[in-house]
Structure 1
């Protein structure tokens, strides 16, 4: 059962990355020092052309939040 949840989570993350790319953004997920003061281990959205952070400056966006942000 754990394998199915892990697979579903990875699929959701892939959907979030594809949605960000379609919106002209890059969804970057940090795995370095998750749960530190400046890094919560989730997603940050970066503008593809200007390399400026669009949202989630502290890697604090979940995959669902990325999908919602990119849908707007």
Structure 2
């Protein structure tokens, strides 16, 4: 809210619904401020979305994926 109120562009890099609130989108339009994002897909998520389908497509025997999210 504070960034949009001051006209500072806001990019949400976390996998949450921060930018989905209609009031924030309205404020972004009102202040002509860019707002976007839900997840930058870095690290583990990026590896999972790129590597797993690639391994499967090449028939390399991927039977599952295990990961631990220690950051919350």
- Same fold? TM cut 0.5: no
**Which structure: greater strand fraction?**
1
